[in-house]
Amino acid sequence: MRRHKLIDIDWPDFGVGDIPPQASADEFSARIDETRSTMERRGITHMVIYADREHFANLAYLTGFDPRFEESILILGLSGKPLILVGNECEGYLPISPLIGENQLRHERFQPFSLLDQPRDSSRLLKDIFFEENIDNKSVIGCVGWKYFSESEHPEAKYAIDLPSFIVDTLRELAGREHVMNATDLFMHPAYGLRTNCSASEIAFFEYSNTISSEGMKRMLFGMKEGMVDFEVMSLAHFNGLPLGCHPTFATGKKSQLGLNGPTGERIVSGKPLSTNVCYWGSNICRAGWIAASDEDLPEVAKDYVENFAGKYFEVLAEWLRILKIGALGGDFYRLVQEQLPFEKFGIFLNPGHLIHMDEWVSAPMYRDSLIPIRSGMVIQVDVIPSSPVYFSTRMEDGVVIADHSLQLEIRQSYPKCYERCMRRREFMHNVLNLELPGEMLPLSNTAGIVPPYFLNANRIFALEP
């Protein structure tokens, strides 16, 4: 691997496009048709797809609707219009789904999904609703929540279901326990899940999300000054109202070891570590390093932070990007990180990268001995998290998409400005940072590859020696 170096540059301005239009009713209908094909292959007659405020992505993928405040389920048979059940307040929001406007989705108010002490007395019983959807003892039901399980996690993983029990109990009463199973993998498994193969319209939205997240991170890093309170720094992200994909984090000072910590009133103090992120649906831009202008501001034990920790991390992540090719196996990335960034020094224990969608973590092909190949349509989070009691951390966390010639052509034709920004980012990463990138990898973020070790001197960033 080539050695790292530090360069001083003005960060490139790739621009931010307008938010792309929502996918059409035809695309959502095609996703439903593809889901039905997977149901038939597995012998499933009905799917019950559950969603709530946090676990919304599978339902939104099929319908364009994400529940607010309440829960929701979609009942999908092998034919006919699906039925969606929503609570009192979500009913008025249903037209956000293009399927509603095209009369391709039936809906019913199910008040037990409403908040406590709201009107909850004029809905049909769930058992009656399911029965009218032809769910009975001849049915095989696939339940879709937000997790599937392995046999090592649960002795009967097939029947371990993460939906509320009153829903699952009712299904089992009608169809029998052995006919109600977990089918979440059909949407989320890294090898074959429907949401792990993204369309051009999804990629265009994720590129928009990555650009506004990364521009927010850029404003935070360049606007950060000693003495500011963390709330002031976080406000520089200019959150624009797009839904968040996870809680905003800001860990420094006494909270620096609490990785999921949000702003609490800590002050920006030179010589202290800092990690922070900006995360909208489809993106999570994270940076970690030191509130410093140079190594002179670091604690004595950490003055070799660049040479002995962050620089090595950058070299390995450069290699991580170089091998991110169609056909590469997930286990290759795990092995690279474990061998080159040993746990004893870098403390990396989570997956060295994962898939991202509207939810921040879908699943991950990158794990020990994984034989799952990288393929076109995967949107991947460059998420490799080191941790050290001496050097704290560093981070190059942005989103990329793997796109073969056909998918790139579709993006270029349908979203030309999005494609142009991706290509300009590639040029910068290659020509300025000296990174070697496979042709199928498109960077979605305006901060792709940009790693400043010292946040009070953010124009000084890593690159590779030629």
List, for residues 406-422, the tens digit of each pLDDT value.
999 999 999 999 999 99
| Ordered alpha helix ranges (H), 224-323 | 230-235, 305, 311-322
DSSP state of 371: -
What is the crossing angle of helices 405-414 and 416-431, to 10°?
A: 120
Q: Is the pLDDT of residue 329 over 90?
A: yes
Average pLDDT of the chain?
97
Helix/strand/coil for 462: strand
Q: Answer yes or no: are the C-beta atoms of 31 and 73 closer than 8 Å.
A: no
Measured between alpha carbons, how far is 200 from 51 in angstroms, rounded to an integer? 24
pLDDT-derived band at 258 (thresholds 50, 70, 90) equals: confident
Whole-prediction pTM:
0.96
Banded model confidence at residue 231, pLDDT cuts 50, 70, 90: very high
Bridge-based pairing state of the strands 106-109 and 83-86: parallel
By CB neighbour count within 10 A (0-12 exposed, 13-18 middle, 19+ buried), where does 387 fall? Answer: middle
pLDDT in tens, 66-89: 999 899 999 999 999 999 999 999
> Cα-flanking dihedrals φ and ψ of residue 36, to 5°?
-65, -35
Q: Any long-range contacts for 10-15 (C-beta under 8 Å, 24+ apart)?
A: 10/459, 11/218, 11/447, 11/450, 11/458, 11/459, 11/461, 12/424, 12/425, 12/428, 12/432, 12/446, 14/211, 14/421, 14/424, 14/425, 14/428, 14/446, 15/211, 15/421
Asked if residues 172 and 243 have their Cβ atoms less than 8 Å apart, the reply is no
- Confidence band for 259, pLDDT divided at 50, 70 and 90: confident
Structural domains of the chain, ranges and CATH numbers in brackets: 4-19+199-464 (3.90.230.10), 25-194 (3.40.350.10)
Q: For 58, how many CA atoms within 13 A lie in the half-sphere containing its CB?
A: 29
Q: 336 with 382: CB under 8 angstroms?
A: no
Confidence of residue 35 (pLDDT cuts 50, 70, 90): very high
pLDDT score recorded for residue 1: 83
Q: Residues 63, 66, 67, 69: what is their CA dihedral angle, to the nearest 10 degrees?
A: 180
